[in-house]
Amino acid sequence: MKLQRTHDCGILRKADVGREVTLAGWVQSYRDHGGVVFVDLRDRGGLTQVVFHPEHAAAHTLGRQLRNEDVVMVKGPVVERSPTAINPRMPTGEIEILATEVDLVNKSEATPFSPVQHEPVNEDVRLKYRYLDLRRRELTEALTLRHRVTKIMRDYCDSQGFLEIETPVLYKSTPEGAREFLVPSRLHPGEFYALPQSPQLFKQVLMVGGMDRYMQIARCFRDEDLRSDRQPEFTQLDLEMSFVDRREVMGLVTNLIVRLWRETLGIEIQAPFAHLTWQQAMDRFGIDRPDMRYGLELCDVTATVADADFVVLRDAIASGGRVKMVA
C-alpha cells in the first residue's frame, strides 16, 4: 500500500474542511455523473463520500474503474458540500473528499449478496460468506455493542475491587448439569481433557487462596442440543466474592445492570428491582423464572373445589395438595 490511513470514514465533519486526509475502506456505492464520479466509502466507522474529478486525471481514471466492494485507499482534501448536496442522513453529510491519489488495494469479484441490500438473504448463504455478512451495518453495530458491554463490565468490576483472572480451558472432567466436550490427549493416548461447563471449581480455589474478588468474561462449553436459551458454547460474566451475603451480591449486580443500560442504550432503569423468594415465585407463577410482563398469576381455588366430585381434585386435596388455576 502506497498510502497510510489517517482517519476512519465516519469521523470527519465540517470542522475538518481543508485538511488533507487518507481514508481506507470498501466501495459501498458508485455513481458516474457524466465525468465526475462519486463513491461512498465504507469502513467500520461509517460512510464518507469521495469525489473523483477529471482535473486529477490519474485518480479519476482509477475511480471510474471502481465497483461495489472494491477495497481502496483515497487521499485528498476535505471539502464542504454545496447546500443542495448536503445529506442530513449521513453524519459526514456536510463534507466530501476530493480524491487526488488512489490506491486500489483489492478488486472485488461479483458477490453472492450485497452487505447493504434490504432483502432477506438465505441464512446458509450468509454463513458460507460470513466475511461478507460481517460487513453489514447490523452486525457491525452488534459486535460494537458487545465490545462496549464487556468493557463496561470490566471497568465496573475493577472499580469494585475485582481481579480479572483467566482459568484453564483444558482440565479434567468436573461433571455439572450437562455433558462435557472431550479433547483427546496426544501425549497420553486414550485419555482426554474436558472443556469447562463453567469456571466453578477454579473460582472456589481462588477464594480459598485468598483472592477475595474474582471476575472473568468466561467461555463455557456444554455438549447439549440447541435450544432458545442454550448453545454448545457461550460467554458469561463469571463472578465470585468472599465474605459477602446475598444482599451485597444482588446490589452489586443491580448496579451493574443499571449502568449497562444507561451507558449503552441510554435507558434509565429504576432500582432496586422487585424481589421474589423461590416459594413466592412458585406459588404465584408455578415456575422459578416467571415472565413478569404478562401478569398471568396462579389463583388458589382449593376452597372453591373442595367439594367437587372430580376424583383427581378430591384426592389431591385430601393428601394435602393445593388446586390452582390461571386467572
pLDDT tens digits, 235-245 = 999 999 999 99
Q: For the segment 46-71, what is each residue's pLDDT rounded down to a tens digit?
A: 999 999 999 999 999 999 999 999 99
Whether the pLDDT of residue 1 is over 70: the answer is no
* Whole-angstrom Cα Rg for the chain: 29
Per the model's pLDDT, the better-predicted residue between 98 and 327 turns out to be 98
Contact between 127 and 139 (Cβ < 8 Å): no
- Of the candidates 37, 154, 17, the one whose C-alpha atom is nearest the C-alpha of residue 92 is 17
**How much of the chain, in percent, has pLDDT values that exceed 70?**
100
pLDDT given at position 306: 81
pLDDT score recorded for residue 27: 97
The verdict on domain 139-243 having CATH code 3.20.20.70 is: no
Asked if domains 1-135 and 139-243 share a fold, the reply is no
Would you call 281 helix, strand, or coil by DSSP? helix
**pLDDT reading at 159 higher than 90:** yes
Give the model's pLDDT for residue 77: 98
Residue-range domain boundaries for the chain: 1-135, 139-243, 278-326
Selected residue with higher pLDDT from 295 and 93:
93
Q: Measure the CA–CA gap between 270 and 272, rounded to whole angstroms.
A: 6
With cut-offs at 50, 70 and 90, classify the pLDDT of residue 93: very high
The grid coordinates listed for 250 are: 444482588
CA-closest candidate to residue 59, choices 98, 114, 16: 98
143 pLDDT above the threshold of 90: yes
Least confident interval from 15-24, 51-60, 262-271, 294-303: 294-303
Confidence at residue 230, expressed as pLDDT on a 0 to 100 scale? 81
pTM score of the predicted model? 0.85
- SS3 of 237, please? strand
Q: E-assigned strands of the chain?
A: 20-33, 36-43, 46-52, 71-80, 95-98, 101-106, 163-164, 182-184, 192-194, 213-221, 233-241, 298-300, 324-326
pLDDT surpasses 80 at 314: no
Q: What is the CATH number of domain 1-135?
A: 2.40.50.140
pLDDT-derived band at 226 (thresholds 50, 70, 90) equals: confident
When mean pLDDT is compared across 60-64, 104-108, 309-313, the lowest value belongs to 309-313
